[in-house]
Amino acid sequence: MDAVIHNAGVWSGPAVMPVNIIAPYLLTALLRGPRRLVYLSSDSHFGGQPRLDGVDWRGESAGSYSDSKLYVTALAAAVARLRPGVLSNAVDPGWVPTKMGGPGAPDDLELGHRTQEWLAASDEPQALTTGGYWYHGERTQPHRAVHDEAFQDRLLQTLAEETGLDL
């Protein structure tokens, strides 16, 4: 397997944390060998809070979409740091007209998937970088907590405790 694009996402309800962060974490922990990992984030991650206490990881109550996207973006950065042989990046596809985004979403559906594909398959030098947060082909700055190694480590420890699997 050359690449995995972690594309599943839920906007609201009790499945937010299990789908948006637990599933990508589990797949990352269980799959050995992908040279490239692309995690779907959102500009909503900027509204996320880098706190882990009191989060319902199992989906018994509604979770915060913004928090889940902050967590998955930090997961991508942590994987980039801890697995130097793997290219790991997060992508904000934009608010695109999908079933989740709705027909009135203002962003371009074509641009929404191109960056993911490019990071997964291109041999261009920029696509061969790791630890980035991307929007429409441009590497941009994520939430300040994303590259906070202490936050990354706490997140990974919490996810390991919740799932029984270490990264």
Residues with catalytic annotation?
A: 65, 69
Kindly report the three-state secondary structure assignment for every residue of 16-68: HHHHHHHHHHHHHHHCCCCCEEEEECCHHHHHCCCCCCCCCCCCCCCCCHHHH
Compute the half-sphere exposure of residue 124: CA atoms within 13 Å on the CB side of its CA. 9
Q: What CA–CA distance (Å, rounded) separates 125 from 138?
A: 13
Considering only CA atoms, give the Rg of the chain: 15
Helix (H) or strand (E) run with residue 69 in it: helix 65-82
Q: What CA–CA distance (Å, rounded) separates 59 from 109?
A: 29
Q: What CA–CA distance (Å, rounded) separates 75 from 25?
A: 8
Residue 145 burial (CB count, 10 A): 20
Q: What CA–CA distance (Å, rounded) separates 53 from 11?
A: 21
